[in-house]
Amino acid sequence: MKHRTLLLLATAFALVVGLESAYAQLSPVTLKGEDFITSDGVQLIGTYYPSSVGKEAVPVMIIQDLDEDRKTLHSLALSLQEQGCAVITMDLRGQGDSNKIIKKIPGKNDVIEKQMGKIILNKDVLRRMVEIDIETFKRFLNRQNNDGKLNVRKLCLVGVGGSGSALATAYANLDCSWASQGQGADVRALALVSPRLKSGLASLSSPLPKNLKDLCVYMWYGEEDLKVAKEGEAIARMFKLQRPGDDKKEVLDRLFYEVKVKTRLQGLKLITAENSVVERHLIKFIEIKLQKKDFPTWSMKE
């Protein structure tokens, strides 16, 4: 049954044309400087892969595992850019190049830079990663939206590994919560690679936040790692419970997709493995669920 599901998804997301780029590819840009200094003084660093599509470009934010840096996602970001997406990879506080604290000297124009040192993860640090760090990069996308370079209302979050998936899901929940407060919510799709339930602080919550029920979600994991597979199946059940009757819809109309890949590989290794289905499925998922669908006209975002 599981292999039939994989075949069905592969057929549903089969490429109408090849994966060769149909768009001009612009050079990646390093994101740093004053706009990326957080309210608590962390100098964040990211990479932006701009789209040549214009105001209907789909923005994608990729969040890696906490023990990795954004450079490991370069190949995936390029592949998404080649399909017309505007992509951000980011080092959150304590990751990769985001390892400095910037402090202004009172009464002077000078600043003091110092290394952060190793971050001890706790709930407050994870909260700051979601509410401050990811939000800082999201505000950059808002500015790109205002300049007509993408449509932020088509935002897709990609979480890689247990902690990357948890952080992406937490930010999606934060974004969706604004809709219930009468504000605009922008996240429309969530893609999770090897999400976890029991991998420490940075893991998905059980039950899932109710705010996620209207999102399109696609998740992959290696089924031959029995521990990860067991957790993946539990996570899939939670998403399905939020979407009653989803399995009765036509495949392309569903809000949740699960792929069990016949391997022990997880997270980044699952994406970069030879002949991996993850990248191909993700590209088609974004095309069908975001690029080919109409969303409210982009508008000025704060």
Kindly give, in sequence order, each residue whose CB lies less than 8 Å from that of residue 186, ignoring residues fewer than 6 positions away: 138, 152, 153, 154, 155, 175, 301
pLDDT digit string, tens, across residues 31-74: 999 999 999 999 999 999 999 999 999 999 999 999 899 999 99
The answer to whether residue 10 sits within a structural domain is yes
For residues 229 and 223, the answer to whether their CB atoms sit within 8 Å is yes
The answer to whether residue 36 sits within a structural domain is yes
Domain count, the chain: 1
What is the identity of the amino acid at 25? Q
Is this prediction's pTM over 0.85?
yes
The answer to whether residue 237 sits within a structural domain is yes
Confidence bin at 206 (pLDDT 50/70/90) = confident
Range of the domain at 97: 2-291
Return d(Cα 234, Cα 186) in angstroms, integer.
27
DSSP 37: B
- Res 16 pLDDT > 50: no
Confidence bin at 18 (pLDDT 50/70/90) = very low
- Res 214 pLDDT > 90: yes
- Res 109 pLDDT > 90: no
CA angle 297–138–277, rounded 5-degree value: 85
- Res 5 pLDDT > 60: no
pLDDT digit string, tens, across residues 69-101: 999 999 999 999 999 999 999 999 999 999 999
The answer to whether residue 94 sits within a structural domain is yes
Query: Which residue blocks in 95-225 are alpha helix, DSSP H?
Result: 123-128, 135-146, 161-180
Return d(Cα 14, Cα 251) in angstroms, integer.
12
133 to 36, 82, 130, 153, 297: CA distances (angstroms): 9, 26, 6, 20, 27
The residue among 112 and 57 whose pLDDT is bigger is 57
pLDDT number for residue 10: 52
pLDDT number for residue 122: 92
Q: Mean pLDDT, the chain, as a whole number?
A: 89
How many residues make up the chain in this entry? 302
pLDDT number for residue 168: 97
For residues 165 and 67, the answer to whether their CB atoms sit within 8 Å is no
pLDDT digit string, tens, across residues 215-263: 999 999 999 999 999 999 999 999 999 999 999 999 999 999 999 999 9
For residues 61 and 137, the answer to whether their CB atoms sit within 8 Å is yes
Candidates 170, 190, 165; CA nearest to 123 is 170
Kindly give, in sequence order, each residue whose CB lies less than 8 Å from that of residue 243, ignoring residues fewer than 6 positions away: 213, 254, 255, 256
Q: Classify 291 in phi/psi space as left (phi over 0), alpha (psi -120 to 50) or beta.
A: alpha
Confidence bin at 173 (pLDDT 50/70/90) = very high
CATH number at residue 201: 3.40.50.1820
What is the identity of the amino acid at 197? L
In the sheet with 42-43, reading across from the earlier edge strand, the strands are: 42-43, 100-104, 111-115
The answer to whether residue 281 sits within a structural domain is yes
The answer to whether residue 278 sits within a structural domain is yes
Confidence bin at 302 (pLDDT 50/70/90) = low
Return d(Cα 190, Cα 180) in angstroms, integer.
19
Paired tokens of 239 = 């998403």
The answer to whether residue 143 sits within a structural domain is yes
What is the identity of the amino acid at 145? N
Helix-, strand-, coil-residue percentages of the chain, each rounded to 5: 40, 20, 40
